[in-house]
Every structure is written in C-alpha cells, then in structure tokens.
Amino acid sequence: MKPQKKFLSTKEVAEFIGVNEKMVYSLVSDKGLPATKVTGKWLFPRYLVEQWIEANTLNYPQSLSPLPPYEGLLIITGSNDLLLERTISMFNRRFDNEIAVFANLGSLGGLRALRQNLCHMASSHLLQENGIEYNFDFVDQELTNRPAVVNFCRREQGILLQRGNPKAIQSIKDLERSGIRIVNRSLATGTRLLLDRELNKAGINGESIEGYQKEMATHLEIGLEVLADRADAGPAIRPVAAILGLDFMPLRWERYDLLIAKERFFDKGVQNFLGMLLDPEFRNMARALEGYDTSVSGKMVYPPDEG
C-alpha cells in the first residue's frame, strides 16, 4: 500500500475535492484553499486541504461523546494570548479542586473544538469582512447554535520590529522590500487573517515575502524570532513588544472574545472564570501589560442586529 502523498498537484487536488482544475485556481483566490507556488507550479499540502474541507463543512454531525458534567476541569481552546495565560494561572491559584487548561489551536481551531463539544470556552478574534465586527460571521459558518459571547479584552495588534527598527519599516508596503525577512502565524489564527487582509489591501502577495511561510505557534515565539535577528518583522500583539523591548508598528485595536456553548454557560468553572474578569486583580494584570483595554471585559457581546 502506497503512503499518501504530502503534497498534491493542481490536477490531484481537483480530483480529491471533485472539481475541475480551473475551479481549483478560483478556490485558491476566493475561498482560501491552502496552496504554495514552487518553481512556478502550485502545490497543495494534503493535510491543509483536508483541514480546509473540514472548515467549510456546513452540516457537521453532532458529537457522539459530549463533554461530561462539570467536575472541576475547565477546558479553554482557541487563540493564544498573554493575559489569558496569566488569567488561567490566576484561576488555578484561586480555586481549590478546579483546574483550567488551555489548548492553543488558533481562533478557527477554537471554534471547531467548540463545535465538536471538546471545550467549555473558545477564545477568538476573527475580523469580519466589514472590517468592524468580530467573530459572529465565523460563528454562524462554523456552529449550528450560536454560543454566548463574552468579551475577554481589547488588545492592540500590529507588527513587531527589531529594536530601533534598523530596516526602517514604516508600513505594510515596506514588508515586500528586498532583504526584509518576516515570520508568520498559522492559517487558523486571527492574527494571520489580519496580516493577510492588510497585505491584500496593500496589493502584496504574501508568498513573495521571505519568511511568509515560516509559522510560529504563539505571539511570544514571533517576538523571540525578531529579538534573535532571525526575522526583521512579524505580526503579534503590542504586549509582546513591551515585554521584549521591540519596536511596534500598530495596525488596529481588536476585540478578543470568549465563546461559550449556552448549555455550559452556567457550569461552575465557567462562571468562576468569567467572574474574575471583573476582579481588580485581573484589571491590574492587564494594566501591567502594555496594549490591553479591559473596559468591556466580562460583558456579554451581541451582534449589531441584536444589540
């Protein structure tokens, strides 16, 4: 039995998903079908194509093994964040006989885990097409039942730059200059979605930038790559720049939310965690990390047509 190929050609991916080759190019351009161009030819990582198909599944079956009743293990998945990590540590210090754990899956990964009933809460910051709202359109695409949405914080997203900005990077357009090396986040993250959106607005093909395909799992890892001079720039949140002493080119303030299945909203661990977002200790932690705004933390967030 032959092992599965790691990369598919245009013809092979067309056969794999049951469309003609011309449609494959359209899916790459319009629907984000993962692809890379090597020596003038498109190649498609098989595992990313499979993930893309899963992400675009509309009628996803109900989980056969739902989360058991809450017994002290609070499971959070989704988007990586420094303040969230510290808040999870605060939870574990504060509550006896309860433990909070986090799986770093990216915003889209968190939604899929919520859909499959693998977690109590998912953290997400997916910017919608209108460039204003967050998460709701993606929730409607991924989930059958809309979850409760509670704001965790607002935070400033941008581009980390080497200390002193020796390459004089002043705008997104500068990233396509010869000699500029970047490091990136994965396709499942809201940070990557924002970067790709900004590159597209500037008329830049990300594939043309050195390091665009080099992906890091966390904001801090992006910062360490820049700090170690293995990259000149990378997308991440301002708190990482402040901690590591890096320069920072701001892009926008964003809303970073917690999505909670409504049937799990009143679980003891969920309520204990949400209660901490109104606690002075949480607010003080956020103030100690430059680039956070907790003015709406802990408040329910509603779509514009329902608020």
Distance (Å, whole) CA 69 – CA 143: 21
DSSP code of 205? -
Structure token pair of residue 55: 């992400």
Which of 53 and 226 is assigned the larger pLDDT? Answer: 226
Of 3.40.50.300, 3.40.190.10, 3.40.50.1240, 3.30.450.90, which CATH number belongs to 73-156+254-293?
3.40.190.10
Q: Quickly list DSSP for 246-289.
A: -EEEEEEEEEEEEEE-GGGTTSHHHHHHHHHTTSHHHHHHHHTS
| Helical packing angle, 82-94 and 280-287, nearest 10° | 150
Structure token pair of residue 137: 């359109």
Which of 112 and 65 is assigned the larger pLDDT? Answer: 112
CA 232 and chain centroid, separation: 22
Distance (Å, whole) CA 163 – CA 233: 10
Residue pointed to by tokens 């161009």: 37
pTM of the prediction? 0.78
Residues 6+ apart with CB under 8 A from 203: none
Mean pLDDT of the chain: 91
Query: What percentage of the chain exceeds 90 in pLDDT?
Result: 71
The fold of the 157-253 domain, in CATH, is D-Maltodextrin-Binding Protein; domain 2 (3.40.190)
DSSP code of 38? E
**Is 7-55 in CATH node 3.10.129.10?**
no
pLDDT of residue 230: 97
Q: Torsion angle, CA of 229/230/236/237, rounded to 10 degrees?
A: -30
Distance (Å, whole) CA 138 – CA 129: 10
Q: Please write the tens of the pLDDT for every residue from 35-75.
A: 887 777 888 888 778 777 766 655 545 554 578 889 999 99
pLDDT of residue 56: 65
- The arithmetic mean of pLDDT across residues 92-117, rounded, is 95
Domain locations along the chain: 7-55, 73-156+254-293, 157-253
Which of 305 and 82 is assigned the larger pLDDT? Answer: 82
